[in-house]
Structure 1
Amino acid sequence: MKTYNWAILGCGKIAKKFAIELAELPNANLYATASRNIDTASNFASEFNFEKAYGSYLEMVKDPKVDVVYIATPHSFHKEHSLLCLEHKKAVLCEKAFAINTKEVEQMITSSKENNTFLMEAFWVIFRPKFKKVQELISTYKLGKLKFVKSDFMFNGEFNPNNRLYNLDLGGGSLLDIGIYPIFTALTLLGVPDSIKTVPHFSLTGSEVSIAMLFGYKNGATAVLTSSFDADYKNDVELCFENGIISYDRFSADPISLKINEKITKIPFDNGTHLGYKFEALHVMECLDKNLIESPILSNKVSLNLIKILDQVRKDAGIVFPNHD
């Protein structure tokens, strides 16, 4: 088993969650951290036992020992930081949303091909045992066609105009931060929608604070999706088929519910104590073992379809990022 030297670019909250699970993988060496502030990088490295810390992203990618970089900076920097890594032949696992818009994602994919270097969006949900179990249930039972998807992601957060979630320059708003999860569910299970309608609400900074989305499909299927920083609700998914219903909470350890002919069965799954970051990191290293430059499970075409949908949603909702659109 080959060991890979991992570096983390951007030492925020999600990077900490990722580092905790990365440390559990025997073929992942916690090698380097990088931040614009050397103290931030050093503190992060010390807390999670990384070998080196850099106060410059450029200095970090020039380190020949770095094999793969996890990018955990705000959305608006994803393209810049991904290109920096790819141009220095460092494999990239970049947090979602992959970038701000389709044009940026296309540039990232082009750079990956030109530099023959791995690139994947960090959409860890698809690698979790819970989601894999849902896919298994769909393939095992004769549920018929999927006709309706309902998916939500909401939490009631305090409004803070200085927080990145409300900063348009950083791609703020619920859509790119959490609305992307329900959209990804619909994309994965129903494909690219044929029509999109939205109802957005905006904060005092001009960022979108909540959005309801209706996706229509020519085959008769429908998806109703919501995200919000302004309401407290379950983070759940309901899949209605011709002959049954599958429902589950996206992140909890609760069993999956399968309803067929009024009979409800609770189906457990084994996700351990993890959210699931370790599963995506493990997959990245499996791809690197095979000298792949993109994932066969979460291909860059999937990420391109996802960002195109996000752009369509933003266009319908009137969500604009002034420095990027």
Structure 2
Amino acid sequence: MSKIYNWAVLGCGKIAKKFVNDLKLLPNAKLYAAASRDLNRAQDFANELGFEKAYGSYKEMVKDPNVDVVYIATPHSHHFEHTMLCLEHKKAVLCEKAFAMNQHEVAQMIQCAKENNTFLMEAFWTMFQPSFQKALEIINSGELGKLKMVRSDFAFNAEFNEEKRLYNVKLGGGSLLDIGIYPVFAALSTLGVPDLIKTSADFSSTGSEESIQMIFKYKGGEMASLSSSFAVHSPVQSEFCCEKGYVILHPRWFTPTDLTVWKGDEERKLIPNETKEGAGYQYEAKHVMECLDSGLIESPKMTWKMSEDLIQTLDRIRIDAGIFFPNHDEKLFF
């Protein structure tokens, strides 16, 4: 019988609510504490979703000895600060992507997890979707030959509001860290770290990047064409093009979804989505508790190396595109 884990949520926004609704599907997950800088917000969140406690202070929450694992769902700009706070109090951490604002912050987070012998994982839920895992299995099997090209997109037309997170550079605003990270992940998890990166970006009036096109080039001739935007709608799918066929993850490709496989002259085969309940966040939460059951401080699936490769690639993209975040990028750009 698996241990029952007391979960705390740090940051009571929309993503946290979606995550918690899926957490309810797991019998060994207990909704224990909700924490916000605003006690009323924490209490409303706790009452609505069924948490046992509510805290109006993050520092107060991490001092609670009954908290086993913390899901961090604050803006990108605060991930480093909040992750370090939890790790220093030896609370296991599942932190939303982007893991932090740059590679220097991520390196410190990982070092802190090691020093405190405490679990840390980036909440990249796509890695744990059955549909994405099936796509990886087919690609890695070699049955379609060598993977040569990846095409992946994520875009939607967002309402412009200079105060909201999506367009606020102080909060890590811009499409890249919010949604462009998904296409980048699709390329990294299949083709690996690119040898060459070329970008073209368009910026909003707040200085945040609104749309970006990214081309990855590899020494073996492989390529990836990736895009994200807050200005248009896109299919939101990923195509993995191999020598003998292809795999398509259908919209919305990073969630539980259908996939199509085609090989040579064979008929295209549709593999239907097998997730019957939940939005798909339950898979990463289940994995976290399995890691804790085994005494691990690092996930064997969403490894620290993967998170390092991801943030370093995002940094390279930002340098090429000229995407700058005040108070975070002094070491990165200067």
TM-score, with normalisation over the residues of structure 2?
0.96
- Look up the match of 1:247: 248
Equivalent residue letter for 1:295: S
Cα deviation digits, residues 237-275 of structure 1 (max 9, x gap) = 001000001112204665311111243111223112322
Conserved? CA contact 2:10–2:73, under 8 Å: yes
Partner SS state of residue 147, structure 1? strand
- Look up the match of 1:322: 326
Conserved? CA contact 1:74–1:171, under 8 Å: yes
- Look up the match of 1:260: 263
Conserved? CA contact 1:133–1:269, under 8 Å: no
- Look up the match of 2:128: 127
Conserved? CA contact 1:97–1:180, under 8 Å: yes
Decide whether aligned partners of structure 1 residues 2 and 106 sit closer, same or farther in structure 2, where only a CA change above 3 A counts: same
1:277-288 matches, within 5 Å, as: 277-288=281-292
Partner SS state of residue 207, structure 2? coil
State the distance in 1 between where 2:187 and 2:54 align: 39
Equivalent residue letter for 1:192: V
Partner SS state of residue 137, structure 1? helix
Equivalent residue letter for 1:259: W
Partner SS state of residue 25, structure 2? coil
Conserved? CA contact 1:147–1:220, under 8 Å: yes
- Look up the match of 2:279: 275
Decide whether aligned partners of structure 1 residues 36 and 228 sit closer, same or farther in structure 2, where only a CA change above 3 A counts: same
| Alignment pair present for 1:83 and 2:77 | no
1:138 to partner: Cα distance: 2.2
1:142 to partner: Cα distance: 1.4
Partner SS state of residue 100, structure 2? coil
Conserved? CA contact 2:139–2:147, under 8 Å: no
1:136 to partner: Cα distance: 2.4
| Alignment pair present for 1:154 and 2:155 | yes
1:137-176 matches, within 5 Å, as: 137-140=138-141, 142-176=143-177
Conserved? CA contact 2:12–2:45, under 8 Å: yes
1:99-110 matches, within 5 Å, as: 99-110=100-111
Conserved? CA contact 2:152–2:183, under 8 Å: yes
State the distance in 2 between where 1:274 and 1:114 align: 35
State the distance in 2 between where 1:162 and 1:12 align: 16
State the distance in 2 between where 1:100 and 1:224 align: 23
Cα deviation digits, residues 203-243 of structure 1 (max 9, x gap) = 00000001000000001100000000000111100010000
1:141 to partner: Cα distance: 5.8
For structure 2, the 5+ residue unaligned runs are: 330-334
Query: Mean alpha-carbon deviation: is it higher for 86-95 or for 258-267?
Result: 258-267
State the distance in 1 between where 2:256 and 2:148 align: 26
Conserved? CA contact 1:251–1:275, under 8 Å: no
Equivalent residue letter for 2:248: S
1:175-324 matches, within 5 Å, as: 175-249=176-250, 250-251=253-254, 254-262=257-265, 263-324=267-328
TM-score, with normalisation over the residues of structure 1?
0.98
State the distance in 1 between where 2:244 and 2:200 align: 31
State the distance in 2 between where 1:194 and 1:138 align: 21
State the distance in 1 between where 2:217 and 2:256 align: 31
Partner SS state of residue 189, structure 2? helix
Conserved? CA contact 2:154–2:182, under 8 Å: yes
State the distance in 2 between where 1:154 and 1:139 align: 28
State the distance in 2 between where 1:285 and 1:91 align: 10
- Look up the match of 1:53: 54
State the distance in 2 between where 1:7 and 1:183 align: 29
State the distance in 2 between where 1:153 and 1:74 align: 19
State the distance in 1 between where 2:148 and 2:156 align: 27
Equivalent residue letter for 1:104: E
Conserved? CA contact 1:58–1:84, under 8 Å: yes
Equivalent residue letter for 1:38: L
Partner SS state of residue 190, structure 2? helix
RMSD of the TM alignment (CA)? Answer: 1.0
For structure 1, the 5+ residue unaligned runs are: none
Equivalent residue letter for 2:260: S
Number of residue pairs matched by the alignment: 325
Conserved? CA contact 1:153–1:234, under 8 Å: yes
